[in-house]
Structure formats: C-alpha cells, structure tokens
Structure 1
Amino acid sequence: MEVVILTVGDEVLAGDTTNTNATWLAKQVTDRGATVARILTVPDDCAVIERVVREWSAAFDAVIVTGGLGGTPDDVTADAIADAFGRDLAVDPTVREDVLETVAAYREANPETIEAHDVDIDVDAWAALPAGSRPLINPEGLCPGCVLENVYAFPGVPAEMRALFEQVAGEFGGDTVSMTLHTPQPEGSMVDALTTVREQFDVTVGSYPSGTELNRLKITGTDADAVERAARWLGEHVAITDAPDGAAAERD
C-alpha cells in the first residue's frame, strides 16, 4: 500500500509551526506495513490543495491530508477536497449535533471567556464536509474529519489529528517490514557492504550517519526472512553493536 501525506498550512511553510504531524503519520503508516511515497506541505490555497489531492488520489492507494479544516477563513481544505471530486459541501446531521455539543460544553466550561469575547460560532461552517464523505467525529476538539474515497482528512491540531487517525488506522497496511541496526563504523567505509547486501537479498538499506551517536542502518523489504538474513549478513561484514547475529536487531 502506497500512502502519501499532505500537510496544509501557511504557518508550517513560514516555520511558525513544526510539522510534527507528518513525522507522526509517516511512522504510524510504515509501522503498519505500508509505504509512504510522498510528503508535501502546501499553503492554505484551495486551488493548490485541490490539484494535489486530485492527482495523488489517482496515483496512490491513500492520501492523508492534515490541516486547514474548520470554520475560519483560512480553512479551505474541505472545499478543496470537495472540488477535487466534483462535490459540494454538506452538513451531516450527526456531525452538526456533535459540533453543537462541543460548543455547548465549551460555553459551560468557559462562561467568562464567552462573555468577554462575544463568541459566536457558525456551527454549519465548522460541520461542513464534502458531500458523500464518511464523517470522523472529533473526540478532542470542534472540527470533524472525513474520508472521501481514498482521501483521509484530519484537523491540523496534533491531538485531534492523532485521535481521528486512530479511528481509521486499521485501513492502512501492507507487506513492508524493516529492521534497524546500529554501528560505530563510518558511513564511507560501508559502501561495498551496503551495495552487496542490497543486491544479494533484494532489500533496501538506508544509512543514516550521526555526528555524536551510533550510525543507523535500516533494512527494508517485503520478505521478512530476507530482511532477517540481510541483517545477519551485515552483522558479519559491518561492525554492528546491537545484533551481530541479526537476532537482537531493533524491529520497526
């Protein structure tokens, strides 16, 4: 399963917000055996989001979009996804009721804030999703997410994004397995060994040097036995600190 991740937000592109969502989602997806083929951040621009969603939906198994959902003027993701599939926005009664309940709970818990700032929430604007999409009720906040065909849309607030992803996590999977080994050996001294292990066992090996810690070697493939054998082979040809026989390697 090939998955792509699209994060939306001017604040991410400006460096005002760290893109922890993409990193967290990528790990969740790969831990389930799927492959992340692309990660891209785009601005709060409806036309740009629409184009990327339309192209990626046709090219990959699943598209995860996070950010830009809600009822403020810069929240254009729902409109863009609707446009990508030729849909209108619609308000699902269940979603609207949840938004009303969330607003009521906030008013009850924060009466002074409500009074001081004259908070008036457009419930329909916050509850609107692409017509025909599967709503994802948000247990952590106001804004719902949704699934439309192979596109999964989550709010950008990390706690809310994670809560909604957990609702659909079982829909992501694949045959990819990986193992991580650690070595004190300099990257430049392992070129021949890394080339040979890739060719001999039909796996990919990523080398990730560290200036202060042990360097990492991540072995990835679709055959768990081949990955194990590749790890054992590397243990015989590279100075592996944690798994010279492949048995104690860190499983991802």
Structure 2
Amino acid sequence: MSGRVIGDGEVRELHVLMCDARDELAQRRVEDPIRAARRAEILDQLAQRKRSPPTPPQIGRFRIKARLGEGGQAVVYRAHDEALGRDVALKLLRPHCFHDERSRKLLVREARGMARLSHRNVVQVHDTGTHGQQMYIVMALVEGETLSQWLDEQPRSWQEIVSIFEQAGRGLAAAHREELVHRDFKPSNVLIDRETERPLVGDFGLVGDTSRGARKQSVVAGTPPYMSPEQIQSEPVDARSDQFSF
C-alpha cells in the first residue's frame, strides 16, 4: 500500500465538505418538490378561475343557494336539502379528481369512511352522490370562519389558542382512530362555529383511507408549507403526516 496518512485537520476538512454536500443534496430534495408543487398550485388556481363552471341551480334534491368557495379540488356551495328541510354545505368535486372507475370507487369508499366518523370537532358528512360526471359530498353547514381568520381578526390569549388547537387535535385524532388520514391539515381547513366558538376539522378533500396500509401517492398532494417530508417526496403517508402538519 502506498500513499500518505492524512492528518486530523484534513480529516475535519473532509468531514465538513462531505456534510456540506449532503446538506446541499438534502436541501435540493426538499426544495425542488416544494417549488414544483407550489408552481403547479398557482397554475391550477389560475386555470380554475378561467374555467370555473357556472353555479348549477339544482344538484339532486339539493337547491343551490350560493357559492361558498372553490379550489383546485372542488367547488363548495351552500345548498338547501329539500327532503330534510335544512341548509347544508355541498362539495362538488372537479372531474379531474377521478380519472377512471377505480378512482371513483376509491372516492366513494373514502366518503363513506368520512360519513361514519361522528365527532364534535369534525364537520359531519351526511351524503354523497353524482351530478353528471361529477361526484359531490354533502356536509353539515358550519356558520363561522376559518381558524386562520379567527387568529387574524383580533389578539387572542395563549389559553384561547391552546384550547382551540387542542379541540382541533381531538377531531384529527378521531379521524385517525377510524384509519382516515386528512393529508391537507392546516388552519384554513379548520372552521370555528360562530355561536359556540367550537373548532371543527373539515375539507377532507385529500383524505385517504389507511385501512389497507398507507398508499403511495401518485402526485404531490397538499399545501407545501404544511406538508410532511414524505408527502413532498410522494411517499406513503399515514396519521403521522397529519401530526407533522398539525
């Protein structure tokens, strides 16, 4: 064997260089998917604004009263259930949410999983159905604001904030007990009831059933600032991903 023995100083320098290289690689692995997801999100939002469909007057037995909001996954309406005589929130999923019969069946199964979940801190799902080529989910109508709005509207004591987050966490834990993963948990997906100031976790638009084991995602799904590392890498997710987002 030939060559020289390197000294301690050179060992330290080599170690630093290797660490820097690993850090740079790790940073790229995290930042590149985030940038791609954010870019896709912005492009999708712009596209949705251009092709947002007109508000339908009727969906099944539900008379549409107003549009409450929309995103890349769905449009949410305030609707009146003519059979039961009550107002509800109707979430009409966009056609690209299901590309074939398999994905349609998966959405139905996940909606049923959401419907069996009954908890005071989760927006109750009442029904699901189809409207033309689109699926819809009927949920309890929460009169109030999002957690983001609640936090921004006025100064809150730490006791108030801890109480709200604790209750929202209980709702999320209840979903996990039913083997459901939210996948897009964030303040804007928590609603605060105006009368009771009770938080309810809602908008399970990216929900996934883990009863068959964590599934690998085919696309990066979620909101980048709240996504877990495994979501960013499109790897299998479970309840721990929601805990990271929380």
Q: Tell me the TM-score normalised to structure 2 length.
A: 0.25
Higher RCO, Cα 8 Å, sep 6+: 1
